[in-house]
């Protein structure tokens, strides 16, 4: 059980160590401040167009997300495409595996794409059993076969069923999601004992935008040496399912471009009333940090809900090294301490929202394959704002005066972590 709880932390540390080794091999490790060319690069245009006629349902935490995913898979008639950074062999993973094997036995084409580093703790026998059951299984950038790509991880979490319903967000197939964050918050104990019941957000969608998530998942499969995906009706005609405008934005290290970076900077720059962000990992690059500060200075209500602890200490302290500047500009910062915050969401001006896998850090904007669902709809934004208010109510606001008076030891940790923020 302990090993399962540490899987995510181990995977992230593995990626960072790999990046350090690669950088040291070329004797070219430099900090973001001294290497402006390494800034995340916005694309000239977005890959996917804004589509009309969609519907979306917000899913809060692991139990609700996994239940909705299993219900959709149980109804599958043609195919199931599952792409996840972590797929473990916990009861959560085993329950899903049994359902996938059942659907494969019924003649449904089932494809599973998992990340080699994210799922590094999962026994290979787990995936072999799925292969023997007729499921197409693909390992993304295998550690042993692709050493040059160790730092480029598939951090996406996408499920598409029959090309008609899709899911994406921050929830992995992992034991850490066996219970919800409300249960974790209700149990007394120290933070280090509260790494179950992670707080996360996922979204279920129907309508034309499903084809964009399908395309992204199939493209990720095609990047690997796993052969073609089994033939299926991956792109059926899609009718209107609602009235929401949506698009999928991606980060792709192969192209060196981050669409989410571009759209988020654009929306923050245009914001007039509020910018509310919830981020599981927060290590901002200079442009994003300045955009947040400028928004606060022009009177925008800029608020950040961030983790008060994490599965790896360094990103938390690297993010905290930026607090003083942000607080000084009028940004309000809240930290979750009662359960591990892992969500990656944004809601801006009560009209524009995003749910996905992209953190606000260098790793997501530069190194990883990521995806986010962007929703331009006032009704959906109101739901996101209500969720944000509930997260704020469960958080502790960082007081600027108290923050300036924090202990020297904390400042030293922040300084040390910040030296490696490009790799975190």
Look at phi and psi of residue 349 and say left if phi exceeds 0, alpha if psi is from -120 to 50, else beta. left
Q: What secondary structure does DSSP assign to 116-155, as a single string?
A: TTTTTTS-HHHHHHHHHTT-EEEEES-TTT-GGGTT--B-
Containing 80, the helix (H) or strand (E) segment is strand 79-84
CA distances, 59 to each of 205, 249, 335 (Å): 11, 20, 21
Q: What is the pLDDT of residue 28?
A: 29
Written as tens digits, the pLDDT of the chain (424 aa) is 444 444 555 565 555 555 444 433 332 223 344 333 356 766 656 789 999 999 999 999 999 999 999 999 999 999 999 999 999 999 999 999 999 999 999 999 999 999 999 999 999 999 999 999 999 999 999 998 888 899 999 999 999 999 999 999 999 999 999 999 887 666 655 554 456 789 999 999 999 999 999 999 999 999 999 999 999 999 999 999 999 999 999 999 988 889 999 999 999 999 999 999 999 999 999 999 999 999 999 999 999 999 999 888 999 999 999 999 999 999 999 999 888 999 999 999 999 999 999 999 999 999 999 999 999 999 999 999 999 999 999 999 999 999 999 999 999 999 999 999 998 8
Q: b/e string for 357-366 if b means 16 or more Cβ within 10 A?
A: bbbbbbbbbb
Domain covering 57-222, topology: Endonuclease; Chain A (3.30.870)
pLDDT at 312: 87
Instruction: Decide if 155 is catalytic.
Output: yes
CA dist 42 → 82, 255, 259, 266 (Å):
28, 11, 6, 10
The one catalytic residue in 66, 109, 155, 195 is 155
Indicate which residue of 344, 367, 371, 391 is catalytic.
344
- Strand segments (E) across 183-331: 201-206, 244-252, 257-258, 274-279, 282-283, 301-307
Residue 157 catalytic? yes
Of 78, 301, 325, 349, catalytic: 349
> Residue 4 is inside which H or E element, if any?
helix 2-5
Active site residue 322: no
Pairing mode, strands 157-161 and 165-169: antiparallel
Please report the pLDDT score of residue 310 as a whole number.
87
Q: Which residues belong to CATH 3.30.870.10 in the chain?
A: 29-46+245-423, 57-222
Catalytic residue among 157, 244, 322, 367: 157
Residue 266 annotated to the active site:
no
Q: Looking at 162, 252, 311, 377, which residue is catalytic?
A: 162
373 near 205, Cβ under 8 Å? yes
Name the β-bridge partners of 168: 158, 203
CATH class, 29-46+245-423 region: alpha beta
Q: Is 270 a catalytic residue?
A: no
pLDDT of residue 257: 84
Residue 342 annotated as catalytic: yes
Which residue in 342, 361, 377, 413 is the catalytic one?
A: 342
- The pLDDT, as a whole number, for residue 268 is 98
């Amino acid at each position: 059980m302990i090993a399962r709880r540490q899987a995510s932390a181990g995977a992230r540390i593995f990626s960072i160590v790999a990046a350090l080794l690669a950088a040291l091999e070329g004797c070219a490790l430099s900090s973001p401040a001294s290497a402006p060319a390494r800034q995340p690069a916005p694309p000239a245009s977005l890959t996917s167009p804004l589509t009309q006629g969609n519907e979306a349902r917000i899913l809060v935490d692991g139990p609700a997300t996994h239940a909705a995913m299993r219900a959709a898979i149980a109804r599958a008639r043609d195919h199931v495409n599952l792409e996840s950074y972590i797929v473990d062999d916990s009861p959560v993973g085993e329950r899903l595996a049994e359902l996938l094997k059942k659907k494969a036995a019924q003649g449904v084409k089932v494809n599973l794409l998992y990340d080699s580093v994210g799922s590094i703790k999962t026994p290979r026998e787990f995936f072999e059993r799925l292969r023997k059951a007729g499921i197409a299984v693909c390992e993304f950038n295998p550690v042993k076969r692709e050493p040059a790509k160790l730092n480029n991880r598939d951090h996406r979490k996408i499920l598409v069923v029959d090309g008609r319903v899709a899911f994406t967000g921050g929830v992995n197939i992992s034991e850490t999601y066996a219970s919800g964050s409300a249960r974790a918050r209700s149990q007394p104990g120290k933070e280090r004992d509260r790494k179950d019941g992670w707080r996360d957000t996922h979204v279920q969608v129907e309508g034309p935008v499903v084809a964009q998530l399908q395309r992204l998942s199939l493209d990720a499969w095609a990047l690997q040496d796993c052969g073609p995906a089994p033939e299926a009706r991956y792109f059926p005609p899609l009718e209107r399912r609602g009235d929401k405008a949506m698009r999928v934005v991606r980060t792709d290290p192969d192209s060196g471009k981050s669409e989410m970076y571009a759209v988020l900077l654009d929306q923050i720059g245009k914001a007039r009333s509020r910018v509310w962000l919830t981020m599981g990992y927060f290590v901002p690059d200079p442009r994003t940090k300045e955009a947040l500060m400028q928004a606060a200075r022009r009177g925008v209500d800029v608020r950040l809900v961030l983790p008060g602890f994490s599965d790896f200490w360094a990103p938390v302290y690297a993010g905290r090294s930026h607090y003083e500047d942000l607080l000084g500009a009028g940004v309000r910062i809240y930290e979750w301490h009662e359960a591990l915050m892992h969500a990656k969401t944004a809601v801006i001006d009560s009209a524009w929202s995003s749910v996905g896998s992209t953190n606000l850090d260098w790793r997501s904007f530069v190194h990883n394959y990521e995806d986010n669902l962007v929703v331009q709809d006032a009704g959906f934004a109101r739901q996101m704002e209500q969720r944000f208010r509930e997260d704020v109510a469960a958080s502790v606001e960082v007081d600027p005066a108290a923050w300036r008076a924090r202990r020297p030891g904390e400042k030293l940790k922040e300084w040390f972590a910040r030296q490696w923020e490009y790799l975190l």
